[in-house]
Amino acid sequence: MVESRFELIKNAQFLSVLGIDNKTTSAYYIGHCIESVADQVIDELCTQLTRQHSNGTPARIRVDTGLYKIISDRYSNDSIRDYYVRHSEGDLNEDKKLVSVYLSYVDFAGITQSIKEQIKNLESEGLSMLATSIVDEFGLKHFDRHYSFYAKNGWFICQTYAPNWNHSFDRQCHIRYGNILNAFRLILNDTGIDLESSFAQYVSAVKGLTYSSSKIESRTVFGKGSSLQIACFKDKVEYRFTRSAFEALTAFLMLNGFETQAATIISRMNTLQAA
C-alpha cells in the first residue's frame, strides 16, 4: 500500500507539472490509508473465523475499532496522531517508518483476547439470535397482545398481522425470515419435523409482493397437510402447528436462551389443551 500510494502521489505531482490539475491525492492521507488496510485485514480475519465457528448461525465476530484505529479514533493517543499529521510527503522510507510506528501501538493482545472470547460463545449467541426471531415473528413474548397463540382442532395457532408489499423489501424482515428458516433447518435435523418447507413457500410469496399486488390472497394456505400450515387472511396470518411441531419449537427456545419463556408456553399449551 505504502509503495503504491507513493507512486500515485509522485505521478499526480508530475501531472500537475504538465498543467493537469489533480486534487485527488488529498484523499490518500497516510494515516487513513494505513487504517484502511488494517480494517480490511481485520474484516477478512473475522469473516474467516466466523465461518469456522458460527455453525451457520447469524452471529459474527467483530473487533472494536478502537483496538487498531489508533490514529483516527477520537480517543487515540495525541502524540501519535500529531506524529502522522506532521508527516511530510515525498520520502518512501519515512512512509514505511510510519507503518512500523503504527504497528507498535496496535493492541494485538486485546484483539486476540477479544476474538478468543467471541469464538467461545459464537455458536450459542447465534442460536439465541435464531430463537429471538422465532419469538418475535410468532408473538411468543407476551400473551396479552391482540394476536396471542391459542389451540383449536388439534392445532396450536400463532397469529400475526398480514404482510404487505413493504415487507417484500424490508431488510430486517428478511433477516428475521432467514433466521427462522435456519432454525427450522436445525429443528428438522434434530427431530425430523419439517417446518422449513411451508415457511419457505410463505417467505417466497411475501418477497414477491408488489405495489399492484400488495397482499397475499386471502385464504391462501401454505404447507397443507404438513406439520406447519400457514393460512393467510385479509388482516392476519395464522401459523398452525401440530402439537409435536410446537413442542419441537418450544424445545428449541428452551435450549437457546428462552428457558423461562418456553416454560410459560408449555404451561399455556397444557391449559389450552385441557380446556
Residue 130 pLDDT > 80, yes or no?
A: yes
pLDDT of amino acid 74:
67
Question: What's the rounded Cα separation, in Å, for the pair 106 and 126?
Answer: 29
Q: Residues near 263 by Cβ (< 8 Å), separated by ≥ 6?
A: 254
Cell of 54: 458460527
Question: What's the rounded Cα separation, in Å, for the pair 275 and 269?
Answer: 10
For cell 484483539, the residue is: 111
For cell 506532521, the residue is: 86
Question: What's the rounded Cα separation, in Å, for the pair 236 and 149?
Answer: 13
Maximum alpha-carbon separation in the chain: 89
Residue-wise pLDDT tens digits, 45-61: 999 999 999 988 999 99
| Cα separations in angstroms, 197 against 201, 222, 225, 226, 232 | 6, 9, 12, 9, 16
HSE on the CB side for 95, CA within 13 Å? 18
Q: 40-54, 117-131, 139-153: lowest mean pLDDT where?
A: 139-153
For cell 512500523, the residue is: 100
Stretch 186-206: mean pLDDT: 96
Cell of 227: 406439520
Q: Which of 97, 100, 106 is nearest to 77 (CA)?
A: 106
Residue-wise pLDDT tens digits, 57-97: 999 999 999 899 988 876 667 778 777 877 767 688 988 99
Q: Give strand pairing partners of 228.
A: 241
Cell of 117: 472470547
| Contact indicator for 25, 8 with CB cutoff of 8 Å | yes
Q: Give strand pairing partners of 236.
A: 161
